[in-house]
């Protein structure tokens, strides 16, 4: 079994991935500065799995401080989750986003180079397909024109990693393009804990249901979709986490430079999400229809065949599971990790 460094591993997707890696017997090292997470998430990962995680509080942009993590551990592969991810904020503070997201990547890659670590899996996003490509998105499509600095950081980091793999024939790179992760671990012990007003749909729905917010605004019901609201490829975060375990197995056994979509391949509309959440949890979610949100695409979903063909991975959890587990986390932790 291998030692896997999760950069940004205390966050939403990283903590769920840590659980699944530990469950199959890997050792997990987490490096995080908690700028958007809490050490409590790592304690909960240990509680769920009954295993220890080696945790470093470090700003990953700080190459020298990060070197200690590489010095003290014989790392086999890195999964790079560490980044800022709020689209709206990235438009307000582009330099902060470019600095943090690009520098975490360079600092990780430079340390990997120095310490001879040859495997990196990167958290990319469906956002890199841009506005031009038709759905469903296929990995063979060209990266598109991104609509915001956050998206551009993802596109640039993909390019940086691909260039590094051209120069170093021993370096393996997997770019995972996530679609819309929602849900939480079935224990209800870890989940998404956004700071302030949530930008994303599911945390907003859950906070309305729990009474923290009054009403959800559905952004637009005049899109060219079946019910007029936008459709997305929502994926249970545990399925997503298991996708990382499969990517780790693959990268440890193959020299590769590969892109994989991690989605279900099935789009659901905003209205379907709200209806399913209400039905499976037997709770009301107050909502109104409002204006479109600038920058939103009508539809976004994956062709998920490649991950199945190459990694042997596909999603197993339903939309009902996603809604149930999101609510289970929210109602047990109304204030996230600050209970
Ligand atoms: P998150 O904010 O919960 O996790 C990111 C983690 O990185 C946090 O724990 C944060 O504290 C840490 N971090 C950020 N900058 C750091 C730095 N300089 N040094 C050390 N730690 C740092 O986000 P998430 O939802 O778990 O997303 C993980 C990754 O996946 C991100 O790169 C994100 O852009 C990408 N992604 C997320 C989604 C999504 O919908 N959640 C979709 C596509 C891609
Ligand atoms: C957003 C980002 C995307 C990022 C992804 C995951 C934008 C334009 N895109 O995608 O780059 O990779 O998050 O972090 O921000 N919705 C409502 N009301 C709400 C919130 C959302 O109706 O209060 C709708 C949106 O219009 C959208 C759907 O719900 O149709 C999902 O929204 P969201 O969770 O923000 O994800 P994306 O827009 O797909």
Q: What is the pLDDT of residue 283?
A: 98
Alpha-carbon radius of gyration of the chain = 19
Residue listed under structure tokens 């149930």: 324
Task: Check residue 129 and report its DSSP letter.
Answer: G
Distance 98 CA to ligand 1 centre (A): 14
* 60: confidence class by pLDDT, cuts 50, 70, 90: very high
Strand partners, 174: 121, 258
- Nearest ligand (C-alpha, residue 69): 1
On whether the CB atoms of residues 85 and 153 are closer than 8 A, the answer is no
Report the pLDDT averaged over residues 75-88.
Answer: 98
Q: What is the pLDDT of residue 302?
A: 98
The answer to whether the CB of 204 is under 6 A from ligand 1 is no
The answer to whether the CB of 180 is under 6 A from ligand 2 is yes
The answer to whether the CB of 155 is under 6 A from ligand 2 is no
What is the distance between the alpha carbons of residues 282 and 275, in angstroms, rounded to a whole number?
Answer: 10
The answer to whether the CB of 100 is under 6 A from ligand 1 is yes
Average model confidence (pLDDT) for the chain? 98
Distance 140 CA to ligand 1 centre (A): 25
Model's pTM, two decimal places?
0.98
- Nearest ligand (C-alpha, residue 66): 1
The answer to whether the CB of 213 is under 6 A from ligand 2 is no
Percent of the chain with pLDDT over 70: 100
Q: Which residues contact 215 (CB under 8 A, 6 or more apart)?
A: 208, 286, 287, 288
Distance 184 CA to ligand 1 centre (A): 16
Distance 12 CA to ligand 1 centre (A): 7
Report the pLDDT averaged over residues 247-265.
Answer: 98
Of ligand 2's listed atoms, the one at least distance from the Cα of 270 is 29
Asked if residue 181 has pLDDT above 70, the reply is: yes
What is the distance between the alpha carbons of residues 323 and 201, in angstroms, rounded to a whole number?
Answer: 12
* 222: confidence class by pLDDT, cuts 50, 70, 90: very high
- Nearest ligand (C-alpha, residue 31): 1
What confidence tens digit (pLDDT) does each residue in 264-307 have?
999 999 999 999 999 999 999 999 999 999 999 999 999 999 99
The answer to whether the CB of 183 is under 6 A from ligand 1 is no
Helix axes 237-253, 12-23, angle to 10 degrees: 60
Of ligand 1's listed atoms, the one at least distance from the Cα of 37 is 9
State the catalytic residue, choosing from 12, 56, 137, 150.
150
Report the pLDDT averaged over residues 61-80.
Answer: 98
Residue bearing the CA closest to ligand 2, atom 22: 218
The answer to whether the CB of 217 is under 6 A from ligand 2 is yes
Asked if residue 253 has pLDDT above 70, the reply is: yes
Residue bearing the CA closest to ligand 2, atom 14: 85
Asked if residue 246 has pLDDT above 90, the reply is: yes
DSSP string, 131-159: TTSPSSB-TTSPP---SSHHHHHHHHHHH
150 assigned to active site: yes
What is the distance between the alpha carbons of residues 324 and 303, in angstroms, rounded to a whole number?
Answer: 25
The answer to whether the CB of 296 is under 6 A from ligand 2 is yes
Q: What is the pLDDT of residue 339?
A: 62
Report the pLDDT averaged over residues 216-224.
Answer: 98
């Amino acid at each position: 079994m291998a030692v896997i460094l999760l950069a940004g591993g205390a966050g939403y997707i990283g903590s769920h991935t840590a659980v699944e890696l530990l469950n199959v017997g890997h050792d997990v090292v987490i490096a995080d500065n908690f700028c958007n997470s809490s050490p409590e998430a790592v304690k909960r990962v240990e509680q769920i799995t009954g295993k220890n995680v080696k945790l470093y509080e470090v700003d990953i942009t700080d190459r020298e401080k990060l070197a200690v993590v590489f010095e003290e551990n014989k790392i086999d592969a890195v999964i790079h989750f560490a980044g800022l991810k709020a689209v709206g904020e990235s438009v307000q503070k582009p330099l902060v986003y470019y600095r943090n997201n690009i520098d975490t990547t360079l600092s990780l890659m430079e340390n990997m180079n120095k310490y001879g670590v040859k495997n990196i899996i990167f958290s990319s996003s469906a956002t890199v397909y841009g506005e031009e490509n038709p759905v469903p998105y296929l990995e063979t499509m060209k990266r598109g024109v991104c609509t915001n600095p956050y998206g551009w950081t993802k596109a640039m980091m993909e390019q940086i990693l691909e260039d590094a793999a051209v120069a170093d024939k021993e370096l393996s790179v997997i770019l995972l393009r996530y679609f819309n992760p929602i849900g939480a671990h079935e224990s209800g012990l870890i989940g998404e804990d956004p700071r302030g007003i949530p930008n994303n749909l599911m945390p907003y729905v859950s906070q309305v249901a729990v009474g923290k917010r009054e009403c959800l605004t559905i952004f637009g019901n005049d899109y060219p979709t079946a019910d007029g609201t936008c459709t997305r490829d929502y994926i249970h975060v545990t399925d997503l986490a298991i996708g990382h375990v499969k990517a780790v197995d693959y990268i440890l056994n193959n020299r590769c430079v590969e892109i994989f979509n991690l989605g279900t391949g099935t789009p659901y509309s905003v209205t379907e999400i709200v209806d399913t959440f209400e039905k499976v949890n037997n709770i009301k979610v107050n909502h109104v229809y409002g204006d479109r949100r600038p920058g939103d695409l009508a539809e976004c979903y994956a062709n998920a065949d490649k991950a199945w063909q190459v990694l042997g991975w596909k999603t197993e959890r339903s939309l009902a599971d996603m809604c149930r587990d999101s609510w289970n986390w929210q109602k047990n932790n109304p204030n996230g990790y600050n209970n």
